[in-house]
Amino acid sequence: METVLQLTDVSKAYGAVKALKQVSLTIPKGSVFGILGPNGSGKTTMMSIVLDVLGADTGTYSWFNQSPSSADRKRIGSLLETPNFYHYLSAVDNLKITSAISGRGNDQAIDEVLEIVKLTERKKSKFSAYSLGMKQRLAIAAALLGNPEVLLLDEPTNGLDPVGILEIRELIKRLASKGITIIIASHLLDEVEKICTHVAILKRGNLLTSGPVDEVLSNEDIVEVSAENMDALKSCVGQIPDVLSIKEDNQRLQVHFKAGTAKMEAVNQHCFNHGITLNLLLNKKKSLESKFFELTND
Amino acid sequence: MLLLLKIEWLKIKRYPAFWWMLVIVMLTYPSINYMFYNVYTQFTQGKEMTNNIAKMLLGNPFAFPETFHTVAYFSSFFVLLPAILVIMLITNEYNYRTHKQNIIDGWSRKEFMGSKLIDVAIISFVVMVVYMLVALAFGIYADPDNMGRIGEQLHYIPMFYLQTFAQLSIAFLLGYLVKKAFIALGIFLFYYLVIENILVAYFKYKKIAITRFLPFEVSDNILVAPAFSGNFGKDAKEGYELALTLVGEQIIYTCIYTLIIWLICFKVHSKRDLA
């Protein structure tokens, strides 16, 4: 698979604080790559390094399998941390500067992206007069300008209202279906889970795991069952081979299997054979949230 | 290069402070020169003997070709006005975090600093144009009969530009390194108006001849006081002649200082974390 971005042993320290510790990561072309981590885990630092805003102490990175240069960044639409624009300029004038620097887009493309983020009516207003959500929309418009082949979005739904969040999510899905590579840093797990194909989890500068969402999440299968007689059920499912553990939770049993070994029919059959009729049988994939807490909890 | 110029002009042309600076410069340059012009006419218009002597000594510093020299000298007192703008233009980039965004959008570090160099060049140019217009206006107004000599001292135009560019480069360096507009401006003002004057007075008192190498003095000495200042006795004449002979050296030193300033900026920016 073609690689869009490759990091090799990238480290960065701010004085005594180690923000990134030997992070290595590969982002394949066409993926929607979520970078997760609690506040202060190094997400923004990592993105700043690959955009040449910060210099790495050690390690290297490459875009499109080339040694880093400013030409790479012209191919990447980026939103880093906050919307950064000239306060005294209008949305259109700000995007003209973005366009002139990046070489992406023209006057028509500016109108198009402003339409996508629904700022057309306010396109002549000064940036300083914008609300937080509008500023964020403009930053997204700047990233989208001229259809870059890669989008790098740091907390793209910051400051947006629920409708705005939904719109951005739909937009990202639409762009992803066109084959654009999208890299999203976020602490909103729900957001990442809904749209990402790949995920990396950072904690205090360490990369805990990375890979396709399915692989990262499913090192265990979970089957949720419930019956009238919970004690009998518990002893019954305990006899099923491949069961790793059983947790009782709110009148339900969560039965953990090794990845790929849970067979719903077999569980149902087993219980029935032992005289227990299930009133609930659920194949529960581990949510990204529980995985995230599991990995990032001390 | 042309693209950088175009982008910087996009940033500058809608910046209100730029137009304010221009208006204030356009008011200040004629005013300060008109003030001295008035003093001159009062001295020389009377019918008494002293007035005639004054006229003889002073010549007409505002007629062609002297006007280019005189107006350059008086106007250059107000480098502070464009300096404020230059400091704002770089500290704005920090405030708006566009110093990061410009890089993210695809400029190299070198291109960013190049664009700032262009900013300082543009501001110096605009200020120079105002100075030229004021000098021309005074030349025509003060003595229309001298129009024929208009071309004799045009070299003061590039010299004015160099002095302005050199001193604005110092302002830029401060803004670039300090990042905060008010602090940078404070340091600039305090050094320009107080510290360097104290140093000049001190070294003159001690008779140590290094004042002409101080950061602002080095370019101040490109535009020596107008020619009439050399007409008040032997000492003044010698001082004026000496200053004139040193102008060539001062130009070279100024170029070296300015080059060093920009080398520092480019060097620092190639490595700096853009926080």
Long-range contacts of A157-164 (CB under 8 A, 24+ apart): A157/A186, A157/A188, A157/A191, A159/A132, A159/A133, A159/A135, A160/A133, A160/A136, A161/A133, A164/A133, A164/A136, A164/A137
Q: Is A291 left (phi over 0), alpha (psi -120 to 50) or beta?
A: alpha
Please indicate if any CB of chain B lies within 8 Å of the CB of A93.
yes
List residues bridging with A258 in a β-sheet. A220
Cross-chain residue pair B104–A78, CB shorter than 8 Å: yes
Q: Could you read off the pLDDT of B153-190 as tens digits, one per residue?
A: 899 999 999 999 999 999 999 999 999 999 999 999 99
pLDDT reported for residue A112: 96
Cβ–Cβ below 8 Å for A85 and B98: yes
Is A172's pLDDT higher than 70?
yes
Question: How many residue pairs from chains A and B have C-beta atoms closer than 8 A?
Answer: 75
The answer to whether B14 contacts A88, with C-beta atoms less than 8 Å apart, is: yes
Specify whether A115 is located in the same domain as A234: no
Q: How far apart are CA A214 and CA B129, in angstroms?
A: 67
Most confidently predicted of A101-110, A160-169, A239-248, B46-55: A101-110
Q: Give how far A54 is from chain B: nearest CA, Å.
A: 5
Out of B3, B97, B98, the one facing A100 most closely (by C-beta) is: B3
pLDDT tens across B186-214, in order? Answer: 999 999 999 999 999 999 899 888 888 99
The count of structural domains within chain A is 2
Neighbouring C-alpha atoms within 13 Å toward the C-beta of B62: 21
pLDDT 10s digits, A30-72: 999 999 888 888 999 999 999 999 999 999 999 999 999 999 9
Distance from CA of A102 to the nearest CA of B (A): 5
User: Looking at the structure, do residues A58 and A98 belong to the same domain, yes or no?
Assistant: yes
Domain check: are A203 and A225 in the same one? no
Confidence band of A256 (pLDDT split at 50, 70, 90): confident
Closest-CA distance, A106 to chain B, in angstroms, reads: 14
Same domain for A246 and A205?
Answer: no
Cβ pair B14:A52 closer than 8 A: no
**Same domain for A229 and A209:** no
Please report, for the domain that includes residue A228, its CATH number. Answer: 3.30.70.100
Who's near B147: CB < 8 A, 6+ residues apart?
A: B64, B139, B140
pLDDT digits (tens, 9 = 90+) for A115-168: 999 999 999 999 999 999 999 999 999 999 999 999 999 999 888 898 988 888
Same domain, A98 and A119: yes
Whether A65 and A35 share a structural domain: yes
Residues A187 and A225 in one domain: no
Give this prediction's pTM.
0.87
Per-residue pLDDT, A218:
64
Q: Single out the residue in A196, A216, A236 at which a domain terminates.
A: A216
* Domain boundary pick from A216, A247, A276: A216
- The domain of A285 spans 219-296
